[in-house]
């Protein structure tokens, strides 16, 4: 090994450490003054570092502070907390919107809404599911098909004749639909579960509303709200 080879080895000695090369280098340093000086300086420096750097106790809380800093700098933690801070309120808003939508479609919020939906249904000219003379117990017919008991009101109006019925939907709510006739005029009666009504209604007070070319009477009686469209 010559001087150049020794110095080359010296720079890379942490990785070039096979036994053969170490004994060659050792041999060269022993016989070459200059290279032995390089070796001595290096050895002295290592010893000095070992001597001057000694273990000290870490000040209170320093490790914690370092750890916290690492966490706040660390991309993963940071991203997940930013994500959570953004996503959590967005999810809350989405949930509120869904609640609001389902609430608005599931319940009747005003007597006008009941009137409007009744008139829309009345104009659809839906076919009857049964004829009045074919069904003995109309309440039973509805009880088998709806989730709430339906009572048929006594409408003391001369010339008004019940001809049939069906179930149908007003908005999202299933209701009982009764078909009446007065002369040639088609009259619709909707029987709604009061649990679906989310506004104040006085018992047996008639609310009269004109809608398009129709007239609507809406009243509450016991567990039913009725809407009569003519
Ligand atoms: Zn040398």
- Cα(12) to ligand 1 centroid in Å equals 16
- Cα(50) to ligand 1 centroid in Å equals 27
- Cα(44) to ligand 1 centroid in Å equals 18
- Cα(39) to ligand 1 centroid in Å equals 10
Task: Catalogue the E-assigned strands of 70-151.
Answer: 130-131
Burial 152-176 (b: 16+ CB within 10 A, else e): beeeeeeebebebbbebebbebbbb
Among 150, 134, 223, smallest CA distance to 189 is for: 150
How confident is the model over 107-139, as pLDDT tens digits?
898 999 999 999 999 999 999 999 999 999 999
The residue that leads in pLDDT, 128 or 76, is 128
Q: Residue 191 has what pLDDT?
A: 97
- Cα(25) to ligand 1 centroid in Å equals 9
> Percentage of the chain surpassing pLDDT 70?
90
- Cα(1) to ligand 1 centroid in Å equals 8
Q: Which residues surround ligand 1, an ion (CB under 5 A)?
A: 3, 32, 35
Mean pLDDT in the chain? Answer: 86
Stated as kind and residue range, the H or E segment containing 83 is helix 75-106
Q: Residue 97 has what pLDDT?
A: 75
Q: Which pTM value belongs to this model?
A: 0.58
Q: Residue 11 has what pLDDT?
A: 83
> Percentage of the chain surpassing pLDDT 90?
45
CA dihedral 132, 136, 142, 148 (to 10 degrees): 130
Write the CB contacts of 197 (distance below 8 Å, at least 6 apart in sequence).
107, 108, 114, 220, 225
Q: Residue 230 has what pLDDT?
A: 94
């Amino acid at each position: 090994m010559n001087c150049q080879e020794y110095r080359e080895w010296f720079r890379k000695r942490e990785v070039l450490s096979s036994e053969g090369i170490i004994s060659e280098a050792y041999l060269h340093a022993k016989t070459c003054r200059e290279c032995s000086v390089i070796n001595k300086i290096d050895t002295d420096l290592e010893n000095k570092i070992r001597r001057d750097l000694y273990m000290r106790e870490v000040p209170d809380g320093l490790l914690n502070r370092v750890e916290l800093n690492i966490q706040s700098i660390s991309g993963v933690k940071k991203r997940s907390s930013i994500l959570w801070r953004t996503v959590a309120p967005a999810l809350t808003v989405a949930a509120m919107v869904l609640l609001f939508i389902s609430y608005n479609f599931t319940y009747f919020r005003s007597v006008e809404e009941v009137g409007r939906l009744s008139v829309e249904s009345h104009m659809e000219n839906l076919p009857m599911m049964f004829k009045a003379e074919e069904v003995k117990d109309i309440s039973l017919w509805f009880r088998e098909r709806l989730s709430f008991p339906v009572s048929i009101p006594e409408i003391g109006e001369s010339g008004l004749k019940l001809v049939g019925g069906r179930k149908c939907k007003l908005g999202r709510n299933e209701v009982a639909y009764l078909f009446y006739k007065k002369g040639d005029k088609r009259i619709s009666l909707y029987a709604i579960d009061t649990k679906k009504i989310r506004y104040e209604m006085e018992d047996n007070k008639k609310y009269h509303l004109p809608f398009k070319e129709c007239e609507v009477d809406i009243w509450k009686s016991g567990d039913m709200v009725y809407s009569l469209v003519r």
